Structure 1
């Protein structure tokens, strides 16, 4: 059960309207790594979680918090759009300098949503469920969550430097702080699962199950000009799970046959000469 409270998680109060910034903020609302994505990702992972209750509880708690972040951004965008009208945009366009400033305004904020936020990114591309990951494997999902929080915080940090509005920056600082905590959270959960299950996903398919293919799990194929990639922990030393030593293979040779597909029938008109 969800309960909505009228108060926002943190105060949202901009210094002045800025329709262009409102458009830019749409990215961290409805973009691939926006708040809508992490909200839906955590909630679906939580709803689908089977087993240890603490992981489900954690997912549902953070997913519910992200609903609040979506609400904060909607409020932020709404305030930045206060006073924007089609006529004002037309008038501004008469001045070349103002036209350059207003040129980034999202027309859908005027035409479609009536000065409100939309579930889309900064270019008007609708949010879609293909952005989220909920695989049923906790370690795989938590690694995806760490990436989502890393990318989301990166984008908010970039937006922070794109405005001098202290009210907007105050909101961003709160979001940056929470996203930093969420990265800590996923790192801790990942570490716990790795200690319990091992570092490779899925742990239930062991190296021994790979049979004759197991040696290839430790080989770095140098398919790049030069050998700069040789100097890294991925190319020498023990594998993270302790099951083998990495090997750097310079100029690896193909180990399989050259494919020789059958010639299709002439009725398919493939323009391939018959033997």
Structure 2
């Protein structure tokens, strides 16, 4: 169940509307690093959590609802950057190179399809896709995915912060960056509360793995390389279940030969024997 209030989670102001920046902000809405991704990701993860782990379901849903508020903030920012700008497509402009440049800085669809409003697309106008969402049904795996999602989202937000000179946009992005910091840390902390979160899934019996290769760093170079003697080639593994080792090559065996196809597929080339 959801409720809504007619106010933003955090104030959004734009002092100098900029259609080009509105186009860039679309990445933070419908891009692979954007808020639509994490909002839906956390929701679908939460809906898969069983009843006896209600505390994780609540953590995920609280954060998902917060991310919905971030979408609303960014959509407001996009609209405020598009409307009232001297660079807006809707203004009467002379046929000059300056006007053409200003118009192309704005996404055409933001004018043609949405009437100078935000859209569920990225900065190139590509529609949001659910393929960005990671919700595996395995809590540990999902929490690791969430750390990555917040890390890439925070990277995007910091790049947008560096790009703009508008004080209002910097203030909004500073808030979003701060929330990304919290979310990264809360997912990492949640992982600490799980028993044996690595390897994922922990339910699979490790004695069924190939014991020769389950903690071996494998070089894929043609010529043998010496052990770089790094933490991932020697010493204890983070899960405490094995010792890292180094293999200078891959096992390698067998030939790449495809079985004969069904004759009805007509995949065999026609040829005439001499």
TM-score, normalised with respect to structure 2: 0.90
Give the structure 2 partner of residue 182 of structure 1: 183
Instruction: Give distance in 1, aligned partners of 2:92 and 2:154.
Output: 32
User: SS of the counterpart of 2:250?
Assistant: coil
Contact 1:27 1:120 in 2 (8 A): yes
Q: State yes or no: 1:66 paired with 2:64.
A: no
Give the structure 2 partner of residue 236 of structure 1: 234
Instruction: Give distance in 2, aligned partners of 1:89 and 1:223.
Output: 61
1:107-135 deviation digits (Å, cap 9, x = unpaired): 11111001110000001100011110111
Cα distance, 1:199 vs structure 2: 1.6
Q: 2:255 aligns with which of 250, 258, 273?
A: 258
Give the structure 1 partner of residue 23 of structure 2: 23
Instruction: Give distance in 2, aligned partners of 1:89 and 1:35.
Output: 34
User: SS of the counterpart of 1:161?
Assistant: helix
Change (3 A) 1:232 1:104: farther
User: SS of the counterpart of 1:230?
Assistant: coil
Cα distance, 1:100 vs structure 2: 3.8
Give the structure 1 partner of residue 89 of structure 2: 86
Instruction: Give distance in 1, aligned partners of 2:134 and 2:180.
Output: 18
Contact 1:89 1:102 in 2 (8 A): no
User: SS of the counterpart of 1:52?
Assistant: helix
Instruction: Give distance in 2, aligned partners of 1:58 and 1:232.
Output: 36
Contact 2:224 2:248 in 1 (8 A): no
Q: For residues 1-275 of structure 1, what are the structure 2 equivalents within 5 Å?
A: 1-50=1-50, 51-83=52-84, 85-86=88-89, 88=91, 91=94, 94-96=96-98, 99-193=100-194, 196-210=195-209, 213-224=210-221, 227=225, 230-254=228-252, 256-264=253-261, 268-271=266-269
Change (3 A) 1:18 1:226: farther
Contact 1:77 1:116 in 2 (8 A): yes
Q: Which runs of 5+ in 1 are unaligned?
A: none
Contact 2:23 2:123 in 1 (8 A): yes
User: SS of the counterpart of 2:243?
Assistant: coil
Change (3 A) 1:227 1:272: farther
1:161-215 deviation digits (Å, cap 9, x = unpaired): 111001000000000001100001001011221xx134210100021122xx122
Contact 1:37 1:131 in 2 (8 A): yes
Instruction: Give distance in 1, aligned partners of 2:242 and 2:267.
Output: 51
Aligned residues: 268
Contact 2:143 2:187 in 1 (8 A): yes
Instruction: Give distance in 2, aligned partners of 1:83 and 1:43.
Output: 36
Instruction: Give distance in 2, aligned partners of 1:239 and 1:123.
Output: 42
Q: Which runs of 5+ in 2 are unaligned?
A: none
| Root-mean-square deviation over aligned CA pairs | 2.3
Structure with greater helix percent: 1
Contact 1:263 1:272 in 2 (8 A): no
